[in-house]
Structure 1
Amino acid sequence: MTALHADAVRALTDWTPDEAAQDGLRRDYLAHLAANTEGMWRACVPGHITASALVVDPAAGRVLLTLHPKVGMWLQMGGHCEPGDATLADAALREAVEESGIEELELLAVDGRVAPVKLDRHQVRCAGKDQPENTHLDVQYVAVAPAGARELISEESLDLRWFDWDELPADADRSVRELVALARALV
C-alpha cells in the first residue's frame, strides 16, 4: 500500500457527506481500496480512484470547464492519480493546474480543511476506444481561481471555457451540474 492509498482511505473516512447516496458511494470507494492495494492506479481494472476539481472564480460567478477529447463533453478538470501525488487532494489540484493553465489555484477548504465535496462513479474507456470500459471512482474537489484568472488550454482539452453559474453548456451532464451547484453553495 502506498502513502497515496493511505491518504485516500483517510480522506474518504474523514469526509461525511450530507446525502445517503454519497455516503453509499463513499463506502463503496473504501471497500474498493480495502480490496485493492493498487486501487489508486489506472492499471487497476475494472476500476480505480481518480481525482478531479471544479475550477471556480467566485468573484465573477463562473466555472471553468474543459471539453474532454475522449468523452466529447464539458467536464471539470481531472484524471488519474500519479506516483508523485502525495495526497488525493494533491492529485486533484495537479490535474486542475495542468488542464486549466492557472498556477494560482487553491483547493477550497470547508470548515478549515480541504476535503472532497462530491463523489461520482462512471464508466469510461480510459485505455482507448478498442479497450473495455473501466469504472472511474472519482473524488471531486473545488479549486478556487483568483479573480480574473486566465486559462491556458493544454493538449488534454479540445477546448477550455468559462461559464456563468447559470449558463452551463446544454450538454453538461447531471454530475457536472450537481458539482457546480455544490461549489456555488460553498463559495
Structure 2
Amino acid sequence: MTVIDPNGTGLHADAVRALSAWSVADADQEQLRRDYLGHLAEQPEGLYRSCLPAHITASAVVVDPDAGRVLLTLHPKVGIWLQMGGHCEPGDATLAAAALREATEESGIEGLELLSVDGMPTPVKLDRHLVRCTGKDQPENTHLDVQYVALAPAGAQALISEESLDLRWFDYDRLPELTDVSVRELVALARELTG
C-alpha cells in the first residue's frame, strides 16, 4: 500500500477530486454528491471514523460479470447482506484505494479491479445511511458512502474474513431477502455497467 500523506490530506484532496469529477444525471445522486463535497469543504478530517456526526466511507460491490453473480457479506452488526466496505484509513492513498482495500480484505480475493472510466476508477453510486459505528451504546452517526464496482477475476474463490458472519456468491436475479433497497440498486447498476 502506498502512503501519499500520513496525515491524510492527500486522501482528502483525492476524495474532493473524485467527487468533483463524477458526473451523474440522477437528481438525488447529484444532491448527495454536492452534500458530500460540502461535508469535505467543512471537515478536513471528514473521511475518518473520528469525524462525527458524519464521515465518508468507501465500498465496492464485487461482481463476476461472466458468471452473472455478485459477492455479498452478511454484516455482523447490521444483520443483512451488504457489499464490501468500510472506513477510510490514513494509509489509503485514494478513495478508490480504500474501497479496493476493503473489498479485498472482506472478500479474500486477490486481483480485484475497480470499474474505471478513461483509466480512472470512478464511483458509481452514493448512499447516505445511519449506523452505530462508534458502539451500540453510542448515538447513530451518518456514513456518506462512496460506492464502486469491483470486478473479480474469472472463477474467483471468496474467503470469509472475521468481519463477516457469512460470505456468498448470489446470481444477479436471486439476491437474498435480507438485503436493502440500496444494495439491490447497487447490484442492478453494477450489472448494467458490466453487462
Residue of structure 2 in register with 1:48 after alignment = 55
Letter in 1 for 2:173: D
Task: Give me the identity figure in percent.
Answer: 77
Check if 1:140 corresponds to 2:143: no
Q: Which 5+ residue runs of structure 1 have no aligned equivalent?
A: none
Residue of structure 2 in register with 1:125 after alignment = 132
Check if 1:110 corresponds to 2:110: no
Question: SS of 2:13's equivalent?
Answer: helix
Residue of structure 1 in register with 2:36 after alignment = 29
Question: SS of 2:98's equivalent?
Answer: helix
Residue of structure 1 in register with 2:167 after alignment = 160
Residue of structure 1 in register with 2:66 after alignment = 59
Question: SS of 1:89's equivalent?
Answer: helix
Which runs of at least 4 in structure 1 moved beyond 2 Å after TM superposition? 110-113
- With normalisation by structure 1, the TM-score equals 0.98
Question: SS of 1:185's equivalent?
Answer: helix
Question: SS of 1:12's equivalent?
Answer: helix
Residue of structure 1 in register with 2:5 after alignment = none
CA shift, 1:127, in A, is 1.0
Q: Which 5+ residue runs of structure 2 have no aligned equivalent?
A: 1-7
- Provide the aligned length of Structure 1 versus Structure 2: 187
RMSD in angstroms over aligned alpha carbons?
A: 0.8
CA shift, 1:111, in A, is 4.2
Question: SS of 1:6's equivalent?
Answer: helix
Residue of structure 1 in register with 2:26 after alignment = 19
